[in-house]
Amino acid sequence: MSSERTDVAALLENVAVQLSGCQRVLVAYSGGLDSSVLLHMLYQLMQQRSDIVVRAAYVHHGLSPHAERWAQHCMHTCQQWDIPCTVLPVTVDARERGVEAAAREARYQVLRQHLLPEEVLLTAQHLDDQSETFLLALKRGSGPAGLSAMGATGQLGANRLLRPLLDVARAQLENYAHHYRLTWVDDESNGDARYDRNFLRLQVLPQLKQRWPSFPEAVARSARLCAEQEQLLDELLAVSLQSACDAKGALAIDALLPLSEPHRFALLRRWLRGHEVAMPSREQLLHLWQDVALSRQDAEPLLQLGSVQIRRFRQRLYCIAECVNAVDLVLPWHPEQGVLTLPHRLGYLSLAEQSMRVRRPHPDEQVSVRFGLKGKLHIVGRSGGRSAKKLWQEYAIPPWMREQIPILYYNEYPIAAVGVFVMREGEAHDDSAAWQVAWSMV
């Protein structure tokens, strides 16, 4: 057997070993060299294993005039290999973080939405990509978490993420592609050194590898060592972080006050990562602590980190999705006909056992769901009336949540703040004439 054939067989065997426990996989397929090799390896693996189910997804960023042609190439190749392929269009908003970061965020977001339960996402990053990622983190002044670069395994939401080519040099992938006479597309933007990653790929790494041929392998070792340090910190801090958080994931400020700044920031980073927030800079952590956690007691501080907000309420930090204004919405609902999906990712309403009890509406009452409460209210279990603001405070509802909680209406009268309290007008006196209404976010 020739040396080239031996190398190709070894590459395929290495990927097969990494995927030995996977039965359903989704390949992020751009049509480029790297993902073409990975998809072909899966095609080869399908011939050996009858239990593996492979899908492909092409993310259509719309950034290149050739993107539509690349999508057609991907569909055609997958058709030849009998692999289902889906084109996933995305909109890239580069106003805040630049084109590269925005495209990456959009790509992973749409792939996460497209993944099926128990499906594993495969991406084609390789050894040279790892060097680029490490150097970019170094340029940003990242600590061990950033310098860990990319892991061979990870999570994307509830699904596993694997990078089975992470220890493979690009030159090896080129040999594989030529051996099997694969065809792929070339993104013209890869030659534009104005982008940081391309600058490293085109102008910096070639010189480093010429001087030190084993530079990519050394970088990979450093990344793994940083990842090990981060894993150790994760294990050491897990108990204290868990004890500082309540059931909803809010973080107690008082638990952080006696800690040293490095210890405090290490906990904050892990808390943010648990909420899937991109790793903040040290300046952002300082801002979070000084201007949010330690702001005056009557303030309502806010820190925007990407698409999420960090807020404070009653000496706890909350990480929430950006709030939307829903106070003008009126949503008709027929509970016995099914679940009501609320807009703006505000969850679902349904009838469910062991939930809030309200009386059934009279025949002449129309049921609707609205948001926001004002005025004086009389609720079940209270002798007098209370203002809506006072009630929210009594029930410890943070200010930003008060217009996100669904309010059940019969005609023009509020009946219940679902999951919080029931107005006297909605009290159920007879179990046989009651609804049990539940609000869930999943």
Per-residue model confidence as pLDDT tens digits over 24-41 = 999 999 999 999 999 999
pLDDT at site 204: 93
Q: Phi and psi (nearest 5°) for 419? A: 85, -5
Checking if the pLDDT of 95 tops 70, the result is no
Check residues 267 and 22 and name the one with the higher pLDDT. Answer: 267
Residues 163-186: what's their mean pLDDT? 91
Burial class (CB in 10 A: 0-12, 13-18, 19+), 318: buried
Average pLDDT across the chain, whole number: 88
Checking if the pLDDT of 100 tops 80, the result is no
Cα 73 to Cα 29, 56, 65, 141, distances in angstroms? 11, 13, 14, 39
What the chain holds in terms of domains, given with CATH numbers, is 3-222 (3.40.50.620), 246-321 (1.20.59.20), 331-440 (no CATH)
pLDDT at site 74: 94
User: Do the annotations mark residue 35 as ligand-binding?
Assistant: yes
Per-residue model confidence as pLDDT tens digits over 321-368 = 777 777 888 999 998 888 889 888 788 999 888 888 999 999 999 999
User: Do the annotations mark residue 30 as ligand-binding?
Assistant: yes
In 184-247 the beta strands, taken as DSSP E runs, fall at: none
Q: Report the greatest alpha carbon distance in the chain.
A: 89
Q: Give one DSSP letter per residue of 34-73, joined into a string.
A: HHHHHHHHHHHHHHH-SS-EEEEEEEE---STTHHHHHHH
Buried b (16+ CB within 10 A) or exposed e, 254-287: ebbeeeeeeebbbbbbbbbeeeebebbeeebbeb
Cα 272 to Cα 39, 75, 276, 406, distances in angstroms? 34, 38, 6, 27
User: Do the annotations mark residue 347 as ligand-binding?
Assistant: no
Checking if the pLDDT of 4 tops 70, the result is no
Cα 68 to Cα 31, 261, 323, distances in angstroms? 11, 50, 35
Question: Contact at 8 Å (CB) between 310 and 317?
Answer: yes
Name residue, tokens 């998809």. Answer: 39
Checking if the pLDDT of 1 tops 70, the result is no
pLDDT at site 321: 78
Cα–Cα distance, 249 to 272 (Å, whole number)? 10
Q: Give one DSSP letter per residue of 165-194, joined into a string.
A: TTTS-HHHHHHHHHHTT------GGGG-TT
pLDDT at site 317: 94
pLDDT at site 94: 64
Check residues 278 and 436 and name the one with the higher pLDDT. Answer: 436
Checking if the pLDDT of 420 tops 60, the result is yes
pLDDT at site 84: 94
Residues 100-128: what's their mean pLDDT? 89
Cα 396 to Cα 64, 244, 355, 375, 432, distances in angstroms? 50, 18, 20, 18, 32
Q: At what angle do helices 170-179 and 3-18 cross, to 10 degrees?
A: 110
Residue 344 corresponds to which amino acid? H
pTM attached to this predicted model: 0.70
Q: Phi and psi (nearest 5°) for 439? A: -115, 125
pLDDT at site 5: 66
Residues 6+ apart with CB under 8 A from 86: 55, 56, 57, 58, 114
Per-residue model confidence as pLDDT tens digits over 177-208 = 999 999 998 887 778 888 888 999 999 999 99
pLDDT at site 329: 86
Per-residue model confidence as pLDDT tens digits over 137-147 = 888 888 888 88
User: Do the annotations mark residue 368 as ligand-binding?
Assistant: no
Instruction: Calculate what percentage of the chain has a pLDDT beyond 70.
Output: 97
User: Do the annotations mark residue 93 as ligand-binding?
Assistant: no
Query: Beta-carbon neighbour count of residue 304 at 10 Å?
Result: 11
Cα 70 to Cα 32, 64, 84, 324, distances in angstroms? 9, 10, 16, 37
For the chain, helix (H) and strand (E) counts, in that order, are 13, 20
Residues 104-112: what's their mean pLDDT? 88
User: Do the annotations mark residue 34 as ligand-binding?
Assistant: yes
Q: How far is CA 357 from the centre of its chain?
A: 35
Task: HSE, CB side, 13 Å, CA atoms: give it for residue 369.
Answer: 24
Instruction: Give the helix, strand, coil percentages of the chain, each rounded to 5.
Output: 40, 20, 35
Cα–Cα distance, 376 to 384 (Å, whole number)? 10
Per-residue model confidence as pLDDT tens digits over 40-84 = 999 999 988 888 999 999 998 877 788 889 999 999 999 999 999
Checking if the pLDDT of 2 tops 60, the result is no
